[in-house]
Amino acid sequence: MVAALMLGGCAGLGETERFAAPSPPFEPAAFFAGASHGEARLKILFRAPQRVTVYSLGRIGADGVLLLDQRIRQGDAPVRERRWRIRPDGPGRYVGSLTDAEGPVTGEVEGNRLHLHFRTHGGLDMEQWLFLEPSGQVAHNRMVVRKLGLTVAVLDEVIRRAAPSSEPAAHR
C-alpha cells in the first residue's frame, strides 16, 4: 500500500502531454463560451473507475469575466452544480473563483495548454491541464487530485463544444 501511495504521488500529465503544441493558443473564454460536454473517467485511489459527465454553459459577462456553469454527474451520485469565474490577469495568466474552491483559481497558458490550480474546501489540491486540439472544438483534460502531496485521484476527460440542446433532459 505504501508503494502505491508513493508511486501515485508522481502522477502528472501522463499521456495527455502528447497533445502539447505551440498552437492553437488556448483561450478559455473562446473555448468555453457557449455549451460544451465532457466525458471522463475518474480513478480514485483504491476504488473502481467511475464515469463522469459534465455539461457546461459559458458566457462572457459585461466585465469580460468568463462565467461557466456546470452540471456534473459522477457515477451514481446525484447531479451537482458548480460555477467558475475566470478572467485574464496579464499575458498568459488567469485568475478566478470556483464554487468548489477554498481560495482563488490560478492558471497559465502556454501554447495550446491551459494549466489550472486550486484547493478545494476539503483540503484537496487540484491541478488541471487542458490541451486544445487544432480544430478548436475539442480539449483533453487531465486533473490530478492530491492530499498532503500524495495523488489520490486522476481524471481524464474529453471536452467537446456542443449546441445547447445537446444536454439530455435528465441533466437540465
User: What is the distance between the alpha carbons of residues 169 and 57, in angstroms, rounded to a whole number?
Assistant: 15
Number of domains present in the structure of the chain: 1
Write the CATH number for 34: 2.40.128.20
CB-CB contact of 105 with 86 (8 Å): yes
Q: Return the ∠ at Cα 148 (arms to 139 and 39), rounded to 5°.
A: 20
CB-CB contact of 96 with 105 (8 Å): yes
**Would residue 16 count as lying in a domain?**
no
Q: Which domain holds residue 126?
A: 24-162
| This prediction's pTM | 0.85
pLDDT (tens digit, 9 = 90+) per residue, 16-66? 677 788 889 999 999 999 999 999 999 999 999 999 999 999 999 999 999
Strand, coil or helix: 1: coil
Closest by alpha carbon to 37, among 56, 52, 51, 23? Answer: 56
